[in-house]
Structure 1
Amino acid sequence: MAQAREGVLDDATVERRLKEELPAWRLEDGWIRRTYKTASWKSTLMVINTVGHLAEAAWHHPDLTASYAWVEVRLMNHAAKGITEKDFALARKIEEVVSWQPGTEGGALEGTPSDPRFAYIKYDK
């Protein structure tokens, strides 16, 4: 049984929702995109693996481009040929997990030390 095609969101809706829900993300060339700056190749691989885990669990797969100190995540629903609710849902989960800073929450987890030897993500402030 074939699944119904998901509704593709128009560019104006995508732009508005990105501004409201995911301000670090942008619409470019038919994809919603986010570039995460990292401190090293090790950090870059950790971000890629994190995104990979979330994508596989969600069964919705982004395109990734990476270099030594950055990872770009691109989402677009290939089957629907545009941006859908699936893209927003996965982008929110990626943003939540990759941008998580436990040291700012005041709980038992202190987060990555400020020592440059342990640098990880270059968080947006």
Structure 2
Amino acid sequence: MTAQRDAVLDADTITGRLARDLPAWHLEDGWIKRTYKTGSWKGTLMVINTVGHLAEAAWHHPDLTASYAWVEVRLTTHSAKGVTEKDLALARKIEEVVGWQPGLEGGALEGTPTDPRFAYIKYDK
């Protein structure tokens, strides 16, 4: 199974999978990339820590670039010298967790208040 996870995917496969499963991500220079916009430095740190936890748990580590109100996540499999299933799987998990909005689910968790004092991430939707 390791060989299949580490097989480099061709550009058409990657762009097709991103369009279908991860529309906010794009392929550029051998990486899949996504920028998360945040409300402040606090939000930026929360995104970085979330990505860090997921990456460590997966044992697959992205490159991150950050500023006051954004975080760019870049994934490639260095050992394979290209984008593999590992990158797509970790991107999906990052997207799922960072983009989670419990207030939209109608369950017991209400989600972050809409008051700008509490905003920490700028959701796409």
TM-score by length of 1: 0.96
Structure 1 counterpart of 2:56, one-letter code: E
Report Cα offsets for 1:48-83 as digits up to 9, x if no partner: 000000000000000000000000000000000000
The reply on whether 1:111 has 2:111 as its aligned counterpart is: yes
Aligned with 2:97: secondary structure? helix
Matches for 1:9-20 after TM superposition, within 5 Å: 9-20=9-20
What corresponds to 1:83 in structure 2?
83
- Structure 2 unaligned regions, length at least 5: none
Equivalent residue number for residue 34 of structure 2: 34
**Structure 1, unpaired ranges of 5+:** none
Q: Secondary structure at the match of 1:116?
A: coil
Identity of aligned residues (%): 80
User: Would you say how many aligned residue pairs link Structure 1 and Structure 2?
Assistant: 123
Shift of 1:29: 1.0
**Bigger mean CA offset, 5-14 vs 44-53:** 5-14
Partner of 1:95: 95
Whether 1:62 and 2:62 are equivalent positions in the alignment is: yes
Please report how far the alpha carbon of residue 4 of structure 1 lies from its aligned counterpart in structure 2 after TM superposition. Answer: 4.6
Secondary structure, in 3 states, of the residue corresponding to 1:100?
coil
Residue 33 of structure 2 corresponds to residue 8 of structure 1: no
How far, CA to CA, are the matches of 1:4 and 1:41 in structure 2?
A: 39
CA distance in 2, matches of 1:18, 1:115: 32
Partner Cα distance (1:15, 1:62) in 2: 19
Q: Match of 1:55, as an amino acid?
A: A
CA offset digits 1:68-102 (Å, max 9, x no partner): 00000000000000000000000000000000000
What residue identity is the alignment partner of 2:105?
Answer: E
- Report the TM-score when normalising by structure 2: 0.96
The 4+ residue runs of structure 1 with deviation greater than 2 A are none
2:34 is the counterpart of 1:23: no
TM superposition shift of 1:120:
1.2
Give the alignment's Cα RMSD to 1 decimal: 1.1
| Distance in structure 2 (CA, Å) of the matches to 1:4 and 1:113 | 45
